[in-house]
Structure 1
Amino acid sequence: MRILLLAPLLMSLLLPAHAIAKGDDGARIEKARTLMELAGAAGLADQTLVSVTRQAEELLAHENPGREAEVTALVRDHFLPKARAALPELSRGITGLYAAHFTAAELDQMIGFYKSPVGRKLVTMSPTIIQQSMALGQAWAEGVSDKAWDSFAKAARERGLSLPKRL
């Protein structure tokens, strides 16, 4: 079930850099970039990448018992550096989305919020809240999975559907 929760996040990591809408002026792009910086988006993206990578690593290690160290090294040496190197592309794409969906005045208001004391507190607390939210979401998903899986699996088999060994 964990991989189902990761799918939307993984898809968001694949956003194209050309998500910037045509006709957006440079001022809006710059305001959106400032907003991203003030919001601590780069750090949050890296934190999320590391968390998702750990979950993928756990799944890979589970499929390769006794080779956990090799899996960890493989992820650390091959996947994570390339994914981190691609984060600026993601940032440019998301910056473009903000520029496309918000007016310059709206971006100014958000920038003002992130410069305020409560906005700074939000930025400071976001890594902790995200980490705790992910743990909470994982525990929730496992609980839902445990409660719903037997019934779901039975109904799927009755319909002749095949089920994966592990979701």
Structure 2
Amino acid sequence: MKKFAIILALSLLLPVGGHAASGAISAEKKALIDTLLEQSGQSAIAMGKQFSDLFMVQMTDMLKKAKPDIDPRAFVILGEEVTAVINEKIVADGVLNNMMYPIYSRHFNEAELREMIAFNDTVLGRKIIRVLPEISQESLRAGQQMGAGMGPEIEWRILERFRKEGIK
């Protein structure tokens, strides 16, 4: 999620000319990509909400730390303005979709997009969409635990090798 938020934040900085890359993609292919993004919970509206929520948490924490006695109305204003900007930039201006069209277009042709959409409409497809984020999070945690467990041995072996090689 955090990685996607960073990608979205960077996409907001793209110059207007960055949208031109999606010009060569047919309207039909764009519609297929839109459908696929919607099915997988990555539509501009869904991603805008996730980005907005993430931004709100970060901004709220910063404000509370900087001004513990801040007027509670500040958080209402913060929420309204974050939501407005995100909706304007990501949803209404189509920044997210224009960013995603060339990416999906490079990797999938129209027939493949149709097949993925059809699969996502099956019971198994819907389950995969539902559980993949959880699987990704669990895999990330498992990998972090594995890496943390190897850290001391890696450090010891590097230091031992440095000693043997005369590196100080």
Output the TM-score relative to the length of structure 1: 0.59
Cα deviation digits, residues 82-104 of structure 1 (max 9, x gap)? 21343322342244232344211
Give the counterpart letter for 2:109 in structure 1: T
* CA–CA separation in structure 1 for the residues paired with 2:61 and 2:52: 14
CA–CA distance in 1 between the matches of 2:74 and 2:39?
A: 35
Residue 52 of structure 1: aligned partner: 55
Q: Does 1:122 align with 2:133?
A: no
Q: Measure, in 2, the Cα distance between the counterparts of 1:52 and 1:125.
A: 25
Aligned identity (percent) is: 22
Aligned to 1:33: 34
Per the TM alignment, residue 28 of structure 1 is displaced from its structure 2 partner at its CA by 1.2
| 8 A contact 2:120–2:126 mirrored in 1 | yes
Gaps of 5+ in 2: 149-168
Number of matched residues? 133
Q: TM-score, normalised by structure 2?
A: 0.58
Give yes or no for the alignment of 1:99 onto 2:105: yes
Q: Relative contact order (alpha carbons < 8 A, sep ≥ 6): 1 or 2 greater?
A: 1
**SS where residue 54 of structure 1 aligns?**
helix
Q: 1:56 to 1:19 in 2, by over 3 A?
A: farther
Larger Rg: 2
Q: What is the CA distance between 1:35 and its match in structure 2?
A: 1.0
Give the superposed CA RMSD. 3.6
